[in-house]
Amino acid sequence: MRRVALIALILASGCQKSDSNATADQKVAVGSGSKFKIEQVAPPFDLKNPPTDATKTASGLIYKKLTKNDAGTAPQKNDTVLINYTGWKQATGETFYTNKSRGQPMPLNLATTAPGFTEAMQLLKTGEKAVLWVPPTIGYKDDHKGTPETLVYEVEIVEIKPAPTVPPDVQSAPATAETTKGGTKLVVVRPGTGAAKAKPWDSVTYNYTAWDAAGRMFETTEMKKRPSKISPYRQSATLEDVLTSMTGGERVRVWTTGEKMATNGKPAPGVPTGPVCYEIELLTIEPGVEPPPAPPDVAKPPGDAQKTAKGVFYKVLSRGKGGEHPKPTDTVKVNYTGWSTDGRMFDSSVVKKEPAEFNLQGVVAGWTDGIPQMQVGDKFRFWIPEELAYKGVAGRPQGMLVFEIELLEIKPPKPVGDHPPPAPHHGAPPPMQHP
C-alpha cells in the first residue's frame, strides 16, 4: 500500500513529496525539520537539452525511446501499468525518485495521473524504455502543490493491467435504452441468472466501472477486485433505483449524472459532475429483513400530532407499561426506522437486525428533544424539522426527517471516566448521530 500511495503522489500530484509519506530510512534530520535522502541516479542525457532526434508532440511532451519492442502492447488511457522509473528535476538535476534498488515495478493508473504521463505511456509498449521531458503544463494534476517545473523521467513499461473497455455509447444513452421507475436510462449488457430482483433492504454485492463523457474511467471495483457490498437504500436514490431493478448475475449500462449518483447531490472528490456512464454487475443478493413501510402521513405531520416546545412533532403509535422518561443525559436502546418526507427510507435498525444504543447528548437535537417524551415500551412517530436534524450537513439526509422509534431500555449515565459505547455504524454513519 505504501508503494501504491507513493507513486500516486509522485506522478499524479507533480512529484511533490510530503514528509508524512516518507519512511524512516528516507529522511534525515536537518535542525527542526527534515528532508528526503534519495538515491541519486545519473541521467542518460543532458536534462536541459533533449537529443535532436527526440520526438516532440503537440502537447509539448518530448520523448526518446532507449529500447524498442515492436511485439509489445501499448496501454490504453484507463489501463494500469507496472513501470520501472526514475525522475529528475530538470532545473537542478536532482533525482527526486527512483525504484532501481527496489527490484519491483510500481503500479500507475493512467486514468488518474497527470495528462503528460498518460499521453507518454500510450506512446510506449511493454518492454520498451524511454526518457520523457514533461513540461509543467501537462506534468501535474490540477491539485498539485509547490512550484510547477519541467520533470524528466526514464520509464520502462513492464506489464499492463487492462481496464474495462470504454462503452462505444459512453456519451449518451441509445434510443433503445429502457427507463427505470426512477427515470434512469439503462440497457442490459448481460441478462441475469436469477429471477428475483433486489429489494432496498437486501444486502447486495456488485461490481461497477464508471466513465465520464470523454471515456475517462474515474471509478472501478473490477480492476481492484473488491466488489461493493451494501444495502441499496444506503446508496443514492438513483443507484438504489438501478440496483433494485436488477437480478443476480445481471450486468447493465447506465447513463446519469455525477450529482444523481452522489448520496446527497454532491459528488465525492475525483467524481465528475455532469454526464457519467456506469456499468454495474449484480453478483449476489442476500435477503434482508423488511422494514416497516413508509407511514401514510410521512409527507407532513397530521393535524392530531403533538408538538414539543422546540418544534418536534410526534404521534403515539402504541404505549408500553409506563414508568420513567429518559433524561437528556441517559443512554437509550431503541429500534427505529427513518424516512425522508418523500417516503424513501435512509436508515433502520430493523434492517440491521440490531437495536441501536446511544447517549441522548450525542444525537441530533430533534432526538434529544423528542425521545424524553417516551417511556419504555412506547412506540412513537416523530417529524423532525431540518433545523433540529441535518440542515446543511454534507452526506446526511436533508429536510424534515420522519422516524418511528420504539424505546426498549433506559440506561442511567455512566460514572465519570467511563464512555458509552458508540452507536453501530454498519459501514455508514447512523443518520441520528452528530457528525
pLDDT digits (tens, 9 = 90+) for 189-243: 999 998 899 999 999 999 999 999 999 999 999 998 999 999 999 999 999 999 9
In this predicted structure, what is the pLDDT of residue 103? 83
Round to whole Å and give the CA distance between 352 and 344: 17
Distance of CA 325 to the CA centre of its chain: 41
Other residues' Cβ atoms within 10 Å of the Cβ of residue 305: 16
In this predicted structure, what is the pLDDT of residue 200? 96
Other residues' Cβ atoms within 10 Å of the Cβ of residue 417: 5
383, 385, 390, 393 alpha-carbon torsion, rounded to 10°:
140
Residues 6+ apart with CB under 8 A from 152: 43, 47, 87, 88, 89, 90, 131, 132, 133, 134
In this predicted structure, what is the pLDDT of residue 128? 98
In single-letter form, the type of residue at position 376 comes to V
**What sign for the dihedral angle of Cα 178, 183, 185, 190?**
negative
- Taking domain 306-411, whether its CATH number is 3.10.50.40 is answered by yes
Rounded to a whole number of angstroms, the distance between the first and last alpha carbons of the chain is: 28
Round to whole Å and give the CA distance between 209 and 198: 20
365-422 pLDDT, tens digit each: 999 999 999 999 999 999 999 999 999 887 788 999 999 999 999 987 766 554 444 3
Q: Specify the pairing of strand 151-161 against strand 217-220.
A: unpaired
What are 273-277's contacts with CB under 8 Å, separation 24+? 274/212, 274/213, 275/171, 275/172, 275/212, 275/213, 276/210, 276/211, 276/212, 276/213, 276/218, 277/167, 277/169, 277/170, 277/171, 277/210, 277/211, 277/212, 277/213, 277/253
Per-residue CA distances from 210 to 110, 280, 284, 373 (Å) = 15, 9, 20, 47
CATH 3.10.50.40 domain range(s) in the chain: 2-161, 179-286, 306-411
Q: Specify the pairing of strand 217-220 against strand 306-307.
A: unpaired
Task: Tell me which CATH code domain 2-161 carries.
Answer: 3.10.50.40
In this predicted structure, what is the pLDDT of residue 10? 37
Per-residue CA distances from 60 to 46, 88, 147 (Å) = 18, 18, 19
Per-block average pLDDT, block size 10, for the chain (435 residues)? 36 39 30 57 95 97 97 96 96 93 91 94 98 95 74 97 97 96 96 94 97 95 94 95 97 96 80 95 96 96 96 97 92 96 94 92 93 97 96 87 97 61 35 29
In this predicted structure, what is the pLDDT of residue 269? 80
Contact 96, 87 (CB under 8 A): yes
What angle (nearest 5°) sits at the alpha carbon of residue 182, between those of residues 179 and 183? 40
- Taking domain 179-286, whether its CATH number is 3.40.50.740 is answered by no
pTM: 0.78
12, 15, 19, 23 alpha-carbon torsion, rounded to 10°:
80
In single-letter form, the type of residue at position 408 comes to L
**Spatial CA neighbour of 62 closest among 80, 82, 48:** 48
What are 314-317's contacts with CB under 8 Å, separation 24+? 314/370, 314/373, 314/380, 314/381, 314/382, 314/383, 315/380, 315/381, 316/378, 316/379, 316/380, 317/379, 317/380, 317/381, 317/404
In this predicted structure, what is the pLDDT of residue 144? 59
